[in-house]
A and B are shown apart, each in its own frame.
Chain A
């Protein structure tokens, strides 16, 4: 069983601050996805990383996949209240991203 440890579990910051969420595992993943989930809704895909060392940017969000493809990070610059939500990382060891192991999630609260 592949386990993904996500940290921190909860994060509360002021608008304008920067933050980083970590996703770590002892397993190697073929691909890793980051999702954002609103209460009562399904997760929304933010990004997929597949290559060790890969860095992807999505506006104020920067995603990095570790060289060994065992860990990943999500960095948000100048957080906004609209960034509030549950952030989930998910890793797949098969050639199908749909079958994923999810981390426990990071609940981010950005205060005005």
Chain B
């Protein structure tokens, strides 16, 4: 399968600071990437759709000013959690689509806000 790399895999930050998470498709170009959030023992919830060269589309209830998404190239999307608080602690996962029927996920980023 295709490779999607996410960095960092784990990050601990202080409350009030911002954290950037990178998602790269290593062996294919992805015009669209997706960001998900997963709480412990729960399933994945779609946060936003990242579109190369245009603004991201956010799901209902997701604050676009808090979760900044930039899709600067066909292989890179970034998610910045601004002014992080403990309730933002979660597992964040990106995915990239190859064609219409295949999606590949990064390994995830465990964010802990202290």
Contacts and interface: CB of A to CB of B under 8 A. Distances in A.
B107 A42 contact: yes
A47 B98 CA distance: 14
A98 B43 contact: no
Interface string B88-113: 00010101110111111111101000
Interface residues of B, number: 29
How would you classify the secondary structure of chain A's contact residues: helix, strand, loop or mixed? loop
Interface residues of A, number: 25
A90 B97 CA distance: 14
Interface stretch (A13-21, A56-64, A75-83, A100-108): A100-108
B107 A45 contact: no
Interface in B7-48: 32-34, 36, 42-46
5 contacts: A31-B101, A42-B4, A88-B43, A96-B32, A99-B49
Interface of B: 1, 4, 6, 32-34, 36, 42-46, 49, 91, 93, 95-97, 99-108, 110
